[in-house]
Amino acid sequence: MSRTFQRTAGIRILAAALVLLGAWAAYTQNQTTPRPATTQKVKDGLYMISGEGGNVAALLTDEGVILVDDMYDRNYAAVMGQVKSLSEKPVRYVLNTHQHDDHSGSNAQMLAASVEVIAHRNARINMVALKQPGAPRVTFTDGMEVHLGGKEVRTRHYGRGHTGGDAVIYFPELKVIHTGDLFLTRPTQPYIDYANGGSAIEWTKALDEVLKLDFDTIIPGHGPLSDRAGLLKWRADFETMRSRIGGMVRQGKSKDEVSQTLIKDFGWPAGGLAIGQVDAFIAEMKQ
């Protein structure tokens, strides 16, 4: 195979991955105009900020605020406006759950405002590869803790799932977790970002580790608050989907048959988003 052909193929694959990523961000919002940000109390000192991008968690302390995710770049002012309505203290840290720009798009503005951004090392690798602004200066491999104002927040990587750099954020004193897009309450089906290290096989293994934590409340990547029962159902539904598709692959079913099953039986969106993942999904099920 010539180097020219390899370069051309690589460019085409990258372009396709970027199209899929953009489609996912658009689909998760399912809207034509941005929604204003709103804030909901989760537990004492912890709030969920919802709006155009993924859910943001805000932990208030006497020494400053710790955020989990920061939505799109264009949502920076809206997020900060909600934070300022809760506390006069500055934002000190942002913990990214993964690199998608509906969750980490305001990183660059946060860094410019002297906020430290922390993410899994694979999330940073993905951001750099995609030339996404705001790559974090601080990364971790398995986990790390942030201590501020007498409060502790833990960020953990349990393996591949939605991406190769997913982090689950744990507020141990409050028994609350932020799962990023490893768990959603809207939409209700997963997006496996194979281009950035995602895995259908590893996803449930990561969730099994999450379920070992002592928590009763979940801030999902998108959608309303949930709980342990919600995550258990999500995991069971995911395993059902994966087992069904794995069985179809072993039976030699066609790509079109697999695609139609994902759309009709498991609620995947019709069109480029679902179809674009099918080749990679089938390939993983053959492993």
Question: What is the bridge-based pairing of β-strands 138-140 and 116-120?
Answer: parallel
Set out the domains of the chain in order of their start, with CATH numbers: 3-226 (3.60.15.10)
- How far from the centroid of its chain's Cα atoms is residue 183's Cα? 8
User: Which residues sit opposite 50 in a β-bridge?
Assistant: 38
Instruction: Using the predicted structure, report yes or no on whether residue 19 has a pLDDT greater than 80.
Output: no
Distance of CA 61 to the CA centre of its chain: 25
Q: Which residues, 6 or more positions from 108, have their beta carbon under 8 angstroms from its beta carbon?
A: 73, 133, 134
Rounded mean pLDDT of 137-149?
98
Q: Scanning the structure block, which residue is given the tokens 């590869």?
A: 129
Strands 176-180 and 143-148, by their bridges, are: unpaired
Which residue in this structure is represented by tokens 């309450």? 185
- The residue among 210, 111, 212, 115 whose CA lies nearest residue 162 is 210
Residue 29 has pLDDT above 90, yes or no: no
The pTM (predicted TM-score) of the whole model is: 0.88
Q: Calculate mean pLDDT across residues 245-264.
A: 95
Give mean pLDDT, residues 195-221: 97
Question: Could you tell me how far CA 171 lies from the centroid of its own chain?
Answer: 17
pLDDT-derived band at 277 (thresholds 50, 70, 90) equals confident
- The reported pLDDT for the residue numbered 44 is 98
Question: 125-157 burial by CB neighbour count: b if 16+ within 10 A, else e?
Answer: bbbeebebebbbeebbeeebebebeebebbbbb
Q: How far is the C-alpha of 154 from the C-alpha of 174, rounded, in Å?
A: 12
